[in-house]
């Protein structure tokens, strides 16, 4: 079935994909092979694009010729909608007037192909922080080395506040976000999660509000760790700790690079546990960490070696099982995800979800 037939079948019942390039919300829907992009709160009619597949290659054409030319945010939204609709495709040919071509070529959003054809490559596009990060930095934080607890490592940038990452999940038709912990706002919920029997079995942090306030204040004061709340459509479902591995307890157990990252997770709301949600948040936390600093080449994780379900999920999302080792408090498995593998294999959509993503979206 071609794109035209797929989209005709689904356009009547599928919800729009939400995109937020450069902080500008767009809703993307299809009518046949026509992509309609509507900026949030815009009174004018949606702009029109056409996505087709010819000889196995995607072509995205801007057809709204009566309205001048698309701005950069609209172009980025159109590219995200196209690649999301066709997760098996590596690249597309772009036929559109581009006002910021030099800037987009320098950043890797676009390439020049044969006959000066503008081309977008999915492996490069999904490394663009401006699509998914709420406040992307225009440059990497400068390298300046310091010592903490006897370890030499780069000085880390200031911690973020508010939403740090947003991504529409087509197979859930919901927007996933990570936002920095606000202790006053999140403490009660965090404490309830820590006292959940399933969470407590792994985290071993049961206690009262005072204990959990002290815990979160310790995270806030630690330069190498950031506490995040995971949300789906603003409904909080879990807590994530992301860290710089060079300063972490994991560093002695492997050859940690200066910009390696790692993470821990708890899913506090029982109705958000299960495969459809894991396939949303697990690739997304990996994606966030790779976008947060372009120098991050590896992400590590150390679940209990007998947590077979978690290890299986990590494997499906590209993490290699390197070895088992002993922490003072547990026997752990060292898992590692390479940046090159994540983007080359398009692991933001896990393999078992990629086959169903088209049937869950209007694309």
Reply yes or no on whether the pLDDT at 13 is more than 60: no
Could you report the per-residue pLDDT of 227-248, keeping only the tens digit for each?
A: 999 999 989 999 999 999 999 9
Question: Which of the following CATH numbers is that of domain 3-126: 1.10.3470, 3.40.630, 1.10.405, 1.10.8?
Answer: 3.40.630
pLDDT at residue 16, rounded to an integer: 85
Give the C-alpha separation, 165 to 180, whole Å.
10
pLDDT at residue 264, rounded to an integer: 97
Could you report the per-residue pLDDT of 296-305, keeping only the tens digit for each?
A: 999 999 999 9
pLDDT at residue 241, rounded to an integer: 98
Give the C-alpha separation, 180 to 178, whole Å.
7
Cite the active site residues. Answer: 302
Please, which pLDDT band fits residue 190 given cuts at 50, 70 and 90?
A: very high
To the nearest 10°, the Cα dihedral for 173, 89, 56, 11?
10
Residue scoring higher pLDDT (75 or 10): 75
Average pLDDT over residues 11-27: 79
Cα dihedral sign, 233-234-237-241: positive
Give the C-alpha separation, 331 to 7, whole Å.
49
CATH 3.40.50.360, applies to 150-347: no
Average pLDDT over residues 51-68: 85
168-190 exposure pattern, b = at least 16 Cβ within 10 A, e = fewer: bbbbebbbbbbbbbeeeebbeeb
pLDDT at residue 173, rounded to an integer: 92
Least confident stretch, 17-21, 318-322, 353-357: 353-357
Query: Contact at 8 Å (CB) between 150 and 181?
Result: no
pLDDT at residue 9, rounded to an integer: 34
Q: Write phi, then psi, for 272 (nearest 5 degrees).
A: -105, 10
What CA–CA distances, in Å, run from 36 to 55, 91, 131, 302, 340? 24, 20, 18, 43, 33
Least confident stretch, 39-48, 56-65, 176-185, 327-336: 39-48
Q: What does pTM read for this prediction?
A: 0.92
Hunting for tokens 């709340």 — which residue is that? 229
Residue ranges per structural domain of the chain: 3-126, 150-347
Query: Contact at 8 Å (CB) between 226 and 161?
Result: no
Beta strands per DSSP E along 20-149: 26-31, 34-39, 47-54, 57-62, 91-95, 111-112, 118-121, 145-148
Give the C-alpha separation, 247 to 224, whole Å.
7
Reply yes or no on whether the pLDDT at 29 is more than 80: yes
pLDDT at residue 54, rounded to an integer: 80
Could you report the per-residue pLDDT of 109-128, keeping only the tens digit for each?
A: 999 988 889 999 999 999 99
Please, which pLDDT band fits residue 147 given cuts at 50, 70 and 90?
A: very high
**DSSP classification of residue 44:** S
Average pLDDT over residues 190-215: 97
Q: Write phi, then psi, for 62 (nearest 5 degrees).
A: -85, 120
Cα dihedral sign, 92-26-339-118: positive
pLDDT at residue 360, rounded to an integer: 36
Q: Tell me whether the CATH fold assigned to 3-126 matches the one assigned to 150-347.
A: yes
What percentage of the chain carries pLDDT values higher than 90? Answer: 75
Reply yes or no on whether the pLDDT at 4 is more than 70: no
């Amino acid at each position: 079935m071609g794109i035209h037939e797929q989209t005709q079948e689904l356009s009547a019942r599928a919800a729009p994909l939400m995109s937020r390039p450069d902080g500008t919300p767009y809703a993307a829907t299809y009518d046949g092979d026509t992509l309609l992009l509507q900026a949030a709160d815009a009174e004018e009619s949606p702009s029109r694009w056409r996505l087709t597949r010819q000889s196995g290659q995607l072509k995205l054409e801007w057809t709204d010729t009566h309205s001048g030319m698309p701005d950069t945010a609209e172009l980025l939204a159109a590219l995200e909608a196209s690649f999301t609709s066709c997760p098996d495709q590596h690249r597309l040919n772009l036929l559109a007037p581009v006002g910021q071509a030099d800037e987009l070529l320098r950043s890797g959003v676009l390439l020049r192909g044969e006959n000066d054809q503008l081309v977008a490559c999915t492996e490069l596009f999904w490394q663009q922080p401006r699509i998914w990060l709420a406040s992307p930095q225009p440059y990497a934080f400068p390298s300046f080395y310091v010592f903490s607890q006897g370890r030499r490592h780069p000085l880390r940038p200031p911690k973020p506040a508010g939403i740090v990452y947003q991504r529409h999940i087509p197979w859930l038709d919901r927007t996933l976000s990570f936002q920095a912990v606000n202790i006053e706002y999140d403490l009660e919920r965090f404490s309830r999660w820590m006292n959940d029997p399933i969470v407590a079995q792994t985290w071993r942090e049961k206690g009262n509000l005072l204990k959990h306030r002290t815990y979160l204040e310790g995270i806030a004061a630690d330069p190498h760790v950031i506490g995040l709340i995971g949300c789906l459509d603003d409904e909080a479902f879990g807590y994530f700790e992301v860290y710089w591995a060079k300063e972490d307890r994991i560093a002695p157990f492997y050859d940690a690079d200066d910009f390696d990252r790692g993470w821990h997770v708890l899913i506090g709301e029982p109705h958000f546990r299960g495969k459809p949600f894991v396939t949303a948040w697990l690739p997304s936390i990996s994606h966030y960490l790779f976008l947060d600093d372009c120098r991050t080449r590896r992400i590590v994780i150390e679940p209990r070696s007998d947590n077979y379900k978690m290890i299986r999920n990590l494997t499906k999302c590209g993490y290699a099982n390197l070895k088992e080792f002993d922490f003072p408090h547990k026997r752990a498995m060292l898992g590692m995800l390479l940046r090159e593998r994540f983007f080359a294999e398009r692991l933001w959509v896990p393999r078992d979800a990629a086959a169903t993503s088209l049937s869950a979206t209007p694309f």
